[in-house]
Amino acid sequence: MLRRSSIPSQPHQRGGKKAPAHAPRSPERRAFARHAGKRDCVCFPIFAVLRCTLHRSPRLAQISRTDPSFLCTSLNLLSSSSTRPKPSKARPWQLTIMAEDDLLSTHGAEFWLYGYGSLIWKPPPHFDRRIPGWVTGYVRRFWQASQDHRGTPEDPGRVATLIERSYWEQLTDHHDSAPDRVWGVAYRIKADKVAEVKDYLDIREINGYTIHYAPFYPADKSEPIQTLVYIGTPDNDQFVGPQDPQALAAHIYKSRGPSGLNIDYLLGLENALDELSPESGDVHITDLSNRVRAIIAAEQGSTAAQPRVSAPPSASAFSGDFQKDSSVREQEETEKAE
């Protein structure tokens, strides 16, 4: 059932209105221009100026020589970096980003990473705790293109991202319901491995994802945890927005990339969610998975046909004896081999 009578020409903009034309600018300048006008998010990759402080004037001066107006915006950001920016009413997705220096120096200790996609069954290296649970206020959708893992630049695959629920409610989505909780897992990264894991995640999640943080609610009802999360927001170039479920399933069925078949990602996510809790299902994921299985059965002429998909580890596999990859290099080689 559709929640709206028509689909806007650009689903990720209110009212379907096209954004005004601008002169070509670098990705970094576009990111800061967005922040300057809306005040609630700084996009990643984090530009070098965010790694500077005001007393590191040589680096700032170098930037200012090429673009003085850009420096003004940068200084404004730096002067307010100690406080969390207030959400702007002008922006429907009200997410907050964690600057790189904040990530590397938070409490001088470890940090927690929230995974809602392949991170559930393909964990990062160097974690020492894995906790199932959920975040609220978001909707999980296969609305992010993947050119580097489950597709190619010529034929991008589709992977999961999170949509701010208040923004999603304004869209036309054939899957017009979504659970209040987006289930996933939180990983604790050891303090001495934070920088290494961050570099690994930047490579793994580079295709349109930006760093944000959100409260994570453990399934055991313990205290919420502030977690870092990679999200493909509606203003990134790889965000594709709502699509007919059957067309989306057909696209996933035919896509593959350096990390493997797109169907392995989809069905792996479905299996991984089933492992977390009897309540952790996602109707969007389940419906797409059923449609893909039907396509495979039709293609192979058998209702018993099943796609090849690597089974995710069970919850018991993440005990203290769980065999984790020992390094970023080993982790990357493992992912490409699967």
User: Any bridge partners for residue 215, and if so which?
Assistant: 226
Rounded to 5 degrees, φ, ψ at 217 are: -110, 110
Distance CA 132, CA 218 (A): 6
Contacts of 126 (CB under 8 A, 6+ apart): 189, 190, 193, 196, 197, 324
CA 275, chain centre distance (Å)? 21
Whether 205 is a known active-site residue: answer yes
Radius of gyration of the chain (CA): 20
Length of the chain, please? 338
> Which residue among 100, 205, 270, 275 is the active-site one?
205
Provide the strand spans (E) within 110-224. Answer: 111-115, 127-136, 138-146, 157-164, 181-189, 210-218
Nearest residue to 338 (alpha-carbon basis) of 285, 268, 250: 268
Catalytic positions are: 205
